[in-house]
Amino acid sequence: MHGARGDGRGTRKQVNGLMPLIVQKYGGTSVGSIERIEDVARKVIKTKEAGNNVVVVVSAMSGETNRLTELAKQMNPNPPARELDMMLSTGEQVTIALLAMAIEKQGHAARCYTGAQVRILTDSVHSKARIQEIDAKVVTEDLKEGRIVVVAGFQGMDSSGAITTLGRGGSDTTAVALAAALGADECEIYTDVDGVYTTDPRVASKARRLDRITFEEMLEMASLGSKILQIRAVEFAGKYHVPLRVRSTFDDGPGTLITYEDENMEEPLISGIAFNRDEAKLTVLGVPDQPGIAGRILGPVSEANIEVDMIVQNISQSGLTDFTFTVHRNDYEKTLKILQGINDELGAREVYGDTKIVKLSLVGVGMRSHAGVASTMFEALAKEGINIQMISTSEIKISVVIDEKYLELGVRALHTAFELDDEDAQVSIEGKSSD
């Protein structure tokens, strides 16, 4: 990516003398009204007056993207993707203009830009475009002049000049990509929670805010169900070593720093517990246990663009085996039909599924150097009478599939077993925005 620096462990580029550069991102809830936009302007100015250059990335006002989508569908139930992106991009244009006006009103110079004006160049996959290059010369020039720069998140432009959008949560990706291109000292993601927690406080009331977490752990947490940050944004930050900080728009506080692993830092055994309610399980019973059977089962599923998650194949008995895997719950019916359609061809006895399951995961880089995590996890769940249906492991995570009705009990049991509880925790959280 043009302008990006991949050596985030060293000294970052200074745009204006010795002033550090901070990129801040505010989601739809944070800019949901004129009053909140004015509050954001005060936060931005406070950061500027503390001796920093500031670039601000904002989403559309809360609910605006959904409103525009519904408006488009009233005109055409299947709106052309190119034109829909053109329409959706206007939501952020309103926000950037209002925020720049608010900053000017409060006595500081500001300039706002769309993604296209900043030359955030993407591929041409409308509604889920990927950033290919950023030429942020205009931003650099404004920063040198002492201005606060406000940029529309969620959007870019392809090589033909067509407006593109980056998909849900795309403003996070815009902020991280700009931070990488500009060599920012830190990228702050402001939202309606005050950091990354050991698990969702709405499920475990004793969840504890983490002071810091590694890119690797955060990526696992995001992929396993945590909704705090968009996965692509974390991947981008890790690739270009952009320190990320999750902070609350509504409360002052240090938030959580997401950074690279520090050899001098004593890593906790477990950093967090993630869960995903959107799982479904399918089992093909009694298929011949022979080479290539897994490919014959999963090939048609893959060809239908259905992503498979966990896979378990049982030990062969009398030359037959059972093959089980999980998919996103939205893909369950489609996958079941595919398997039923090839059942006779496979020589299987039966195909059945279950949508009332969840995936529960432990995440922590400390697992690399500590034994006994799995046994502690299994004992804690067994103590509560929770049966484990499937198990998957990697270097820094252990995931299990359990019955959906035991989700909250399982999370709390593991949270206590791994000593993650904060006895003084009193967390108040609004509905999380994913803009």
| Alpha carbon of residue 178 to chain centroid | 17
Residue 289: which residues within 8 A CB-CB, separation 6 or more?
Answer: 316, 319, 320, 321
Distance, in Å, from the CA atom of 237 to the CA atom of 219, rounded to the nearest integer, reads 10
Determine whether the annotation assigns residue 167 to a binding site. Answer: no
Distance, in Å, from the CA atom of 25 to the CA atom of 40, rounded to the nearest integer, reads 10
Element housing 399 (H / E): strand 397-403
Distance, in Å, from the CA atom of 47 to the CA atom of 52, rounded to the nearest integer, reads 6
DSSP per residue, 246-303 = EEESSS-S--EEEE---TTS---S--EEEEEEEEEEEEEEEEE--TTHHHHHHHHHHH
At residue 115's C-alpha, the angle toward residues 112 and 121, to 5°, is 150
Determine whether the annotation assigns residue 260 to a binding site. Answer: no
Radius of gyration (C-alpha) of the chain in whole angstroms: 24
Distance, in Å, from the CA atom of 343 to the CA atom of 337, rounded to the nearest integer, reads 10
Residue 121: which residues within 8 A CB-CB, separation 6 or more?
Answer: 131, 132, 133, 134, 135, 156, 157, 158, 159
Determine whether the annotation assigns residue 144 to a binding site. Answer: no
Determine whether the annotation assigns residue 65 to a binding site. Answer: yes
Determine whether the annotation assigns residue 192 to a binding site. Answer: yes
Total residue length of the chain: 435
DSSP per residue, 27-47 = -TTTTSSHHHHHHHHHHHHHH
Determine whether the annotation assigns residue 191 to a binding site. Answer: yes
Determine whether the annotation assigns residue 321 to a binding site. Answer: no
Task: Give the other-Cβ count within 10 Å of 345's Cβ.
Answer: 9
Rounded to 10 degrees, the C-alpha dihedral 83/87/93/95 comes to: -150
Distance, in Å, from the CA atom of 221 to the CA atom of 200, rounded to the nearest integer, reads 11
Residues in binding site: 25-28, 65, 92, 191-192, 197, 202
Residues in binding site for ATP: 25-28, 191-192, 197, 202
Residues in binding site for substrate: 65, 92
